[in-house]
Structure 1
Amino acid sequence: MKVTESTSHYDNLDEMSVQDLLENINKEDHRVPEAVKLVIPTISSLVEEIVPRMELGGRLIYIGAGTSGRLGILDASECPPTYGVPHDWVLGLIAGGDSAIRKAVENAEDDPTQAWVDIQEYGFNSNDTIIGIAASGTTPYVIGGVKKAKLEGLLTGCITCNPDSPLSKEVEHAIEVVVGPEFVTGSTRMKAGTAQKLVLNMISTTVMIKLGRVKGNKMVDMQLSNAKLVDRGTRMIMEATGLDEETAKKFLLSEGSVRKATEYYYKNK
């Protein structure tokens, strides 16, 4: 039996108090970062290959179904506002298309050819990286997608929570975060989903830092899409230059980013 489908360590959940339920869920959640820690070398080897490919124009593309697909979309959608990168640098594709983000699409994940069709809608080049996300490691949509991508010469990886899964056998970098049985048997939106989210955070953040999208520890290319981010950017410029708040904000709004505003200041100092 798959680890992700194995029976919970807890029983009679419906008879537990609210306090006991919360404490036991939290106890299980503590296992996740330790499981992620064990696979850092594999994550590292994947990122080391992604960065130079993206420097040559490649993109990072996540494919998944259900919760896994939604997590990929979440990670991809946060990259443009956080790092100021084009919307097609990091893409998240889900079985069943965008409508599946909110509502499950029946049988969408069972088609092994559809992921490649979805990828081709965005075009592809030999420097792209495809990462399949599937807690079970058995999702046909994901397996078919990475298998075809690998045949086409793209770099492939996966994030799964079962060891030695069919998905892992089809990729060059298999990240297997084995978190054990779920608190509610088979509910992989819980520990498995948390593990996938942590790994996705690690991959995209490290890639963006290595692509020069962070200066020191600051998001110097973030999009100024609301007042909170304008205030944050203003403080960054004040810290970097010693300017007063009014002048820093003026530079930020005129130049459009913390990076450009800071560069403009030092160039014209």
Structure 2
Amino acid sequence: MEYTKITETPSNHDNLEQMDTATLLQKMNEEDQKVADAVAATIPQITKLVDALAERFEKGGRLFYIGAGTSGRLGVLDASEIPPTFGMPHTRVIGIIAGGDTAIRKAVENAEDDSVQAWKDMMEHTITDNDVVVGIAASGTTPYVLGGIAEAKKKGLLTAGITNNPGSPLAVAADIAIELNVGPEFLTGSTRMKSGTAQKLALNMISTALMIKIGRVKGNKMVNMQLSNSKLVDRGARYVSEGLGINYEKAAELLKKHGSVKAAIDAGA
């Protein structure tokens, strides 16, 4: 397949080792400012994915992220934050990384080159027709991701690909291609930088919009968040206070009694 692998093209900056610290940081920041625009250009594709996800979630479907290296870690991170933020079971948004959980902290040699392992990893979760698989790969060529997407499509699942190389094999293979063209990296080929940042923004948008669409947010508040520490209990009490127009002490009592912001507000309404 002929396409330009933008993530491997030379940086717009050279002689980095000769720059002073302030210049290094300024030039990195200049590159980072291109990221939001690159994500904005993909909003139509993200919209299509979120709407399809919401429809399938209502039928019991799940969201799977698959990736390797930085991309895999970002998928695991996004999935891991859904239960505490939105009170959803950890089984509804699932991040899978090549090499398993060990690879979250330490690279697992050759794990990303295995084109059949991603589907094996997903099969541990008993895949259904309503599940959606999102492959994440800056290069758009990672065998682990491509193999998982190909097998998911064969089984009739909806697939999406998040990549930083437009026209890459992942973009072509997935039903919905989210092509985050951030240009060359500040440090040539280091996709943990702009490419990873763009992926993080897109994942935030996908999961947050999905949770809003399926009713896990009220107004602009995380009314289903887990009250797992004192900071979150305090935040929850404030949400209840604001939602019902009552003082903090009364709100805290309601929250303690009902166990969630949504239940407390519903009970006090």
Q: What does residue range 38-57 of structure 1 map to in structure 2 within 5 Å?
A: 38-57=41-60
Is the counterpart of residue 119 in structure 1 residue 119 in structure 2?
Answer: no
Aligned partner of 1:72 in structure 2 is 75
Is the counterpart of residue 216 in structure 1 residue 219 in structure 2?
Answer: yes
Letter in 2 for 1:39: T
Q: Give the Å deviation of 1:17.
A: 0.3
Is the counterpart of residue 7 in structure 1 residue 2 in structure 2?
Answer: no
Letter in 2 for 1:173: I
Aligned partner of 2:205 in structure 1 is 202
Q: Taking structure 2 as the reference length, what is the TM-score of the superposition?
A: 0.98
Q: What does residue range 69-218 of structure 1 map to in structure 2 within 5 Å?
A: 69-218=72-221
How many residues are aligned here?
A: 266
Q: Give the Å deviation of 1:245.
A: 1.4
Cα deviation, 1:85-115, whole Å, max 9, x if unaligned, reads 0111100000000000000000000010000
Distance across 1 between alignment mates of 2:217 and 2:69:
31
Which residues of structure 1 form unaligned runs of 5+? none
Q: Secondary structure at the match of 2:169?
A: coil
Q: Secondary structure at the match of 1:91?
A: strand
Distance across 2 between alignment mates of 1:116 and 1:82:
28
Distance across 2 between alignment mates of 1:31 and 1:8:
14
Aligned partner of 2:257 in structure 1 is 254
Distance across 1 between alignment mates of 2:33 and 2:122:
35
Cα deviation, 1:104-131, whole Å, max 9, x if unaligned, reads 0000000100000000111110000000
Distance across 2 between alignment mates of 1:244 and 1:48:
38
Identical pairs, percent: 61
Cα deviation, 1:184-228, whole Å, max 9, x if unaligned, reads 000000000000000000000000000000000000000001111
Q: Give the Å deviation of 1:55.
A: 0.4
Q: Secondary structure at the match of 2:107?
A: coil
Which residues of structure 2 form unaligned runs of 5+? none
Distance across 2 between alignment mates of 1:171 and 1:18:
41
Distance across 2 between alignment mates of 1:108 and 1:176:
24
Letter in 2 for 1:72: G
Q: Taking structure 1 as the reference length, what is the TM-score of the superposition?
A: 0.98
Aligned partner of 1:225 in structure 2 is 228
Distance across 2 between alignment mates of 1:263 and 1:175:
38
Distance across 1 between alignment mates of 2:208 and 2:93:
12
Aligned-residue CA RMSD (Å) = 0.7
Q: What does residue range 21-60 of structure 1 map to in structure 2 within 5 Å?
A: 21-60=24-63
Aligned partner of 1:245 in structure 2 is 248
Q: Give the Å deviation of 1:247.
A: 1.5
Q: Secondary structure at the match of 2:216?
A: coil
Distance across 2 between alignment mates of 1:245 and 1:215:
19
Distance across 1 between alignment mates of 2:127 and 2:250:
44
